[in-house]
Each structure stands twice: as structure tokens, then as C-alpha cells.
Amino acid sequence: MTMLPYQAIVLCAFLQLTWASSLSFPSDFKFGSATASYQVEGGWDADGKGPSIWDRYVHEFPGDIKGNATGDVAGDSYHQWREDVKAAAKMKLQFYRFSINWPRVLPTGFANEINPAGVKYYSDLIDALLAEGIEPIVTIFHWELPVKMQDLGGWTNPLIVKWFGDYARVVYTLYADRVKTWLTLNEPNTVCDYFYNSGVFATRIKESDFAPFLCNKHMMLAHATAYRIFDKEFRPKYKGKISIAPHALWIEPATPEDEALAELGRQHQLGRYSHPIYSKEGGWPPSVEKVMLEHSLQQGHTESRLPAFTEQEIEFMKGTADYYAMNQYTTYVIRPSKAGDEAGMWFLTGSPELQATLYHPEKATYGTAYILPVYPEGMRKMMSWVKQQYGDYPILITENGFSSTGSQLDDHQRVDYIKNYLEQILLAMYKDKVKVMGYTAWSLIDSFEWMDGYETKFGLYEIDYNHPNRTRTPRLSSFYYSCVIAERSLDVAESCYKKDSSKVSSDDKNEIDKKYSPPVNDEL
């Protein structure tokens, strides 16, 4: 069969939808956008904040990051947060997902010392969002481990399970009266697998044999601990829901014969971070447990490098999520490794344990971030897989976004990206009957894109990094997204968003601008 070109497939998806049902989103579907603390806040040592591993890393190894960039100032959201609320309000976002920088609230990470300025910062942000009718969705950990904890072994030390629980209790105590949707950990699989296997990113530790798996175990237990604390001590009074947001990489088989390997790959990538929580039997995915044991014994170890859970731990983790959250950007293809192939690094190029090689789909297109091939159909397949594996948990897409470079205010590629991925979400909903809570466009504003510094941009709003106030300017995609939100449909006329700033009616604009002006730089 001749391969259909990518555009034709997208067109088919569009027609399928138009014929099948509609391009409209149900009334309970929520649209939001997101950022993460280190990527936007700056104020790295302001007002009593302690150092995180990212603060230390960018200062000690500036050459590691493109343009020697640091997050010292970033988008300066620590001071300019009202501008972020304003941007969110102008788009009429229903929610804004942001994260709490652990050592901003607890300078050493430990719960015995609380930083009042950090507490106030997030409290004010939450209040301002609520005043605009925007729901705050809070991620408790988006990678800023306090240095003291890293020096004690970080996520490879089992004690971190308790430390994270203590930290979570502090943030619930402070904010659970107003925050009703929580995420414990952002992309635990990126932290454990990508960071330790590559040796880049803030820990700068390359250790593939044990660290990824110890980290995996402790992150699952830390999540479950934070969930149990919420469930027992806070939910009865405040209500609310809580989950964990793994990186949901869809894995396609290279040929139909490779489907079993692709399934093993999915279990290795996402199953290790979901099966303990969402499956009926709990614990590690059995297929991965088997492969890891075989591989470890072959290497001469006496037990699996994937550390076992006790029966008690399995019970403790089971059911510890109220919805299924996922960051979904991309799809990779898997095939069995051949003689002469490099061993591969999970989850970018392959896996020695699975004896598998990963590569990018031929049909993929690219933004600036090469490791995130654009492949919208993977979104639907991933969502349907989650339903088939774990049942009818409502799914919240907690991240999805397109990378560009330069200023690019006329970011029509980002507009197409959002449209194409949202189409796949509609197909998952209407054709595969997947329950969906909402969609989060990554990211509200440009941000420090980790190893790529400021060269790679995901923002619906551009940030002028040369301006002391880090001025925010809406991109075309923000107008498009606000039209989708206003219409609650993908059936949006170009005239809606191409009118650009006039989309925000002058009344709205004046009102919002008035409320937040003059631009706040008084704390600078």
C-alpha cells in the first residue's frame, strides 16, 4: 500500500470528525495552559529562597546549556506574575497549570523551615487567578530538587519518599483551601530514565544500571505518599483531585511483527509509571519485571535491577490517582536491535534491556526541538491505549505544545499543531469513547527550555528577554487558542484569530489592562 502523505492523513482525520460527529468540545471539557517554576520564575535566590539543583547546575556548568543560559531571571514571573495572569485572562483560559519551586517554599527542602516570601508568592498568584475565574492547577514537583536533598542521594535515596510527603503536606496546608486540582510529580519518567541514562540535566549523574530504577520506585512511592496524605488529611475538608503527570511517549512498532516489542516498550516507558497506580493488580508491569530479571541475571546480578515492591507497597500505591494526567507530545518507532547497533539510551535511542532500537516516525515533522517529532496521531493512540490498559479514568492532557525559534509572532505552525492535536483528542473522545477532562497548551509564555536555554520557545506569548520587564507579547497561536476556547470548537474562522489583537474586544482589553496596570515592576 502506498503511504499517504502526512497532510492527507491529517485531512482524513478532519473529515472523519466532521462526518462522524462534530468539531465541538463538550461543555465540561476545560482548556488551559501551563508553565513550570524554574522555567519562568527567575528570582533564583530572592527573599529567602534556597538553591535547587538547577540553580547549582547552571552556575557550575554554564557551558552545558545553549547560550550559557540560566534561569536566574528567565521570564521573571517571580516579579511579573501579574502579567502572566493577564495573559491567561485575555485568552479566557479556564485553568492555568503552574508548579511550586520546592526550595522557594522550603529553603532546604525539609519541612522544618518555611520561607514566608515564597509562601506569599504562590498564594498571591492563586488568589489573582481565582479572581479572574481561572482555576489554578498546581504541580508540586517540576524538577527543582533542593540541593541538600540531591547531596543526600536525591531520588535514589528511599528517605525521599517521606521528605516529599512532608513537603506535599506543607503545600496542601497552605493552598488546598483554594487549589482543587493537583499533580504530584511532573514527568517522573523523564527524571529517572532520561536524566540518569543521559547524564545531562541538573544531577549530571550518568548511571544507567541502578539509578533509573531506584528513582522510579521512589517516585512512585513518593507520589502515593503525597496522595494518601491528601486523601486522609485534606480531602475531607477541602475536596479536590490529585494525580501524577508522566511523559506519555507513544511507541509504534516498525512492522506489524514488532507489535509485541512495541507493547513491551510502552510498558517500559509509561507502564512502569502507571501500572503501580492504575492497574487492578498493582506493582510493576509483569512483562517489564520479567525482562528486567532475565537481563539482570544474565549480567551476573543475583536479583533484578528493577527493585521489587513489598505486598504492602503494592497495596499502598494502588488507586492513588483521581484522574489520568499525561504530557503528550510525540511518537517514536521501535524495532529489535540488530548486530552492530549501539546499545541505545532509554527512551531516546533504544534499550539494552529490551534489546530494542528507537527512531523517529518517517512521517513526522519538526519544530525546533528535534527530540519531539510532531506526530498528532500518536495522541489519539496514546489516549486509547490508556483507556484499554487502565479503564475509564478521565484523562487530562497536562502538556502538549510546539517548539519554535526566534520571535515568530506569526506562529502559524503552532496554530496548526494545536489544531491537529486537538483533532486527535476529539477522535479519541468521539470514536474511541475516551473520557477527557481537558487540554493544556504548553506553554503560556516562552520559558527556559532546559538544555536548550532560550533558543527553543513554546510560548503562546513571546517574551522579550532583552527588556528588563520581560515584556510578554501575544503570538498568533494565543489568538487562535482563545478563539477555540470562545467557540468551544475547532470550527474557527480564520477571521477570528487573524484579526489578532482586536479579538480581545477593546472593552475587555481595557478592563484587563486597567486592572493590572501599570505593569508591575515595583518589587524589582
Instruction: Kindly list the residues in this chain that would bind ligand BGC in the complex (CB under 6 A).
Output: 36, 39, 186-187, 190, 247, 327, 369, 399, 442, 449, 458
Bond prior to 407 in cis (omega within 30° of 0): no
Residue closer to ligand BGC by CB (options 425, 504) is 425
| Shortest CB 379 distance to ligand BGC, Å | 15
> Catalytic pick from 144, 187, 353, 399?
399
Nearest Cα to 260, choosing from 297, 230, 290, 239? 290
- Cell readout for 484 is 477555540
Report the distance separating Cα 512 and Cα 500, nearest Å.
Answer: 17
All three cell numbers of 273, joined, read 509509571
Is-catalytic flag, 113?
Answer: no
> Least distance to ligand BGC from the beta carbon of 54, Å?
11
Q: Name every residue whose Cβ is closer than 8 Å to that of residue 374 and which is 6 or more positions away in sequence.
A: 330, 364, 365, 366, 367, 402, 417
Residue closer to ligand BGC (CB basis): 332 or 442: 442
Q: Could you give the 3-state DSSP secondary structure of residue 457?
A: strand
Tell the smallest beta-carbon distance from residue 75 to ligand BGC (Å).
13
Cβ burial, residue 88 (10 Å; 0-12/13-18/19+): buried
d(CA 187, CA 168): 17
Q: State the Cα–Cα distance between residues 396 and 388, nearest whole angstrom.
A: 16
- Within 367-475, residue ranges assigned H as helices are 377-390, 412-430
Would you tell me how many other CB atoms lie within 10 Å of the CB of residue 81? Answer: 21
Residue identified by cell 478563539 is 483
Smallest gap from residue 461 Cβ to ligand BGC (A): 15
- Shortest Å, Cβ 74 to ligand BGC: 12
Q: Residue 322 or 449: which CB sits closer to ligand BGC?
A: 449
CB of 368 to ligand BGC, least distance (A): 10
How far apart (Å, rounded) are the C-alpha atoms in residues 82 and 66? 29
Q: Which of 64, 162, 182, 89 is nearest to 453 (CA)?
A: 64
Q: Which is nearer to ligand BGC, 327 or 337 (CB)?
A: 327
3-state secondary structure 20-65: HCCCECCCCCEEEEECCHHHHCCCCCHHHCCCEHHHHHHHHCHHHC
Nearest CB to ligand BGC, comparing residues 164 and 497: 164
Provide the minimum distance between the beta carbon of 100 and ligand BGC in the complex, in angstroms, as a whole number.
14
> Cα(61)–Cα(383) distance, rounded to whole angstroms?
38
| Of 84 and 399, CB closest to ligand BGC | 399
As measured in angstroms, the least distance from the Cβ of 448 to ligand BGC is: 8
Cell numbers representing residue 165 in the block:
510527603
Q: How far is the CB of 4 from ligand BGC (least distance, A)?
A: 28
Q: How far is the CB of 443 from ligand BGC (least distance, A)?
A: 7
Q: Measured from the CB atom, is 37 or 478 closer to ligand BGC?
A: 37
Rounded distance between C-alpha atoms, residue 302 and residue 506, angstroms = 70
Cβ proximity to ligand BGC: between 187 and 258 the closer is 187
398 φ, ψ to 5°?
-90, -15
Using CA atoms, how far apart are residues 34 and 398, in angstroms rounded to an integer?
A: 8
Whether 470 contacts 73, CB under 8 Å: yes
- State the Cα–Cα distance between residues 206 and 212, nearest whole angstrom: 10
User: What are the backbone dihedrals phi and psi of residue 312, each rounded to the nearest 5 degrees, phi first?
Assistant: -65, -45
Q: 291 or 374, CB closer to ligand BGC? A: 374
Helix runs in 73-210, H state only: 77-91, 102-105, 116-131, 147-151, 160-175, 188-189, 196-198
Q: What is the DSSP letter of 524?
A: -
- Contact present, 251 and 260 (Cβ < 8 Å): no
Nearer Cβ to ligand BGC (203/337): 203
Select from 373, 513, 415 the least CA-distant residue to 85: 513
User: Annotated active-site positions, please?
Assistant: 399
